[in-house]
Structure 1
Amino acid sequence: MLTEVTAVRYATPLREGGSLPGLVEAADSQGTYATYVMKFTGAGQGRKTLVAEVICGQLARGLGLRVPRLTQIRLDPVIGLGEADQQVQELLKSSGGLNLGMDFLSGALGFDSLAYAIDPAEAGRVVWFDALINNVDRSWRNPNMLLWHGDLWLIDHGASMIWHHNWRAAEAAAAKPYDASDHALAPFGPDVAGAAAELAPLVTEELLAGAAADVPDAWLVDEPGFESPDAVRRAYVAALLPRAGTIHERIKLPEPQRKGATQ
């Protein structure tokens, strides 16, 4: 289960995100304060964005990929009363209860494929992972990757697993190929086959069930067609588990054009 902290101050919005995430100061049960990037249940994309963030983020961590540590942030809507920005105030007022936080990587730089070179092995792991979760939001236009202390970190997985917006078509959707022709790491010759050999055996039912277990019940209740939050969790496992073994065969990459940028 994700650690829970309590929001004590809303610092500033991060307006580059479509869901209007923000920087929030929060305290844990020991009274230790830290700054988090917070994503809200009251945002326009809804709670499924947060579900995808948790499952994909925890899965990535289980596979050895770098993702900021996730946490649950409990928000008292009264925090929003003092906000001058009406949009932010409404967002905070509509997001009472549990929301999602992730460690703020202070000083991190946005990934730029023209400025940083990524080796084929690491590029392959990221592309393979994105294919597994059907991440449509890692293009050169919006890489959703950061460089922090010289390492590549993955962020923003809320647009992944698009099939969970229509569970009746989930099996067919999860079986479709993955178009990586526009992927931010496509120019670096991703070694997808090597990544599949390394990572696919790690995607076990236990690993997937553990990632799904970290989603709070409150974000899974009343899902049409399911009798309980645990039933929804099992549906995520059922969609991802068979995909892991074969998705590398259905990844569409462009023909190599260059070896990558120089640092």
Structure 2
Amino acid sequence: MSGFDKTPRGPRAVRRETSDAEDAADLQSNLSDLAGLVVGTLGLEDLLARVATFASRAIPGADGAGVTLLDVSQDSHRVEALAASHPFVSQLDEIQYVTLQEGPCITAARERRTVRSGSLGGERRWPRFGPRVGRLGIHSALSLPLILPGQLVGALNVYARGKDVFDDRAVELGELFASPAAVAVHNAQILTQALALTTQLQAALSSRPVIDQAIGLIRGRSGGTAEEAMDRLRAISQAEHTKVVDVARHLLDEAVGRARARHNRG
């Protein structure tokens, strides 16, 4: 007997193999695009939007996708940032996270597992979210947690207008996409936090000379210590609900104004 299987393959089997090959090629192409994202050249929201767009292309049947940075506990969730590939996804995520605070993405993040629904209109797991988005013409959802070892980064939400769109193959490809997506999103998040800290430090460094000059001015008037002068600045800041550096700048401006007035009179 020959070692080759000579059983004829029907058109459906050939189409299935062709479809699988196309899906794999789409996934690889969008993973390459994902790997090509240079963290730092894009803002966090722009990067999340790119990731969402790549996901909508990589997962078969998707009509749109959203990426959310989500801090989830057993009792609550907090959205740090979100972006979408299409405007209707932003509308659905607004309903899920803000209006109703229930839905597949929250469940996926909280339970740290892939969540799928093919008939949102009749979905009992989310009795408010499901029927509402079903009435908007969205019937399928695939939600995947973005997880690093020991850490939840957020979640990826993929939507389709048809029913039962996301089969096991879509789940497999979605999970293959979610792992590197979690790394890209986390790196962007860390860089954004680092840039924010750098901005704060630069602001602090630039404001320090102004505060020191104001302390010297107060000490020249009162004869007190530097600590007492700083306490005076803080007291004014709290009373006027103004930053200490702004209080210091105002005191210096007043002092310069008075000095110029005296000079002009003289």
TM class by smaller structure = under 0.3
Q: Pick the structure with more helix per residue.
A: 2
Q: TM-score, normalised by structure 1?
A: 0.24
Which has more strand, going by share of residues? 1
Q: What TM-score results when the alignment is normalised by the length of structure 2?
A: 0.24
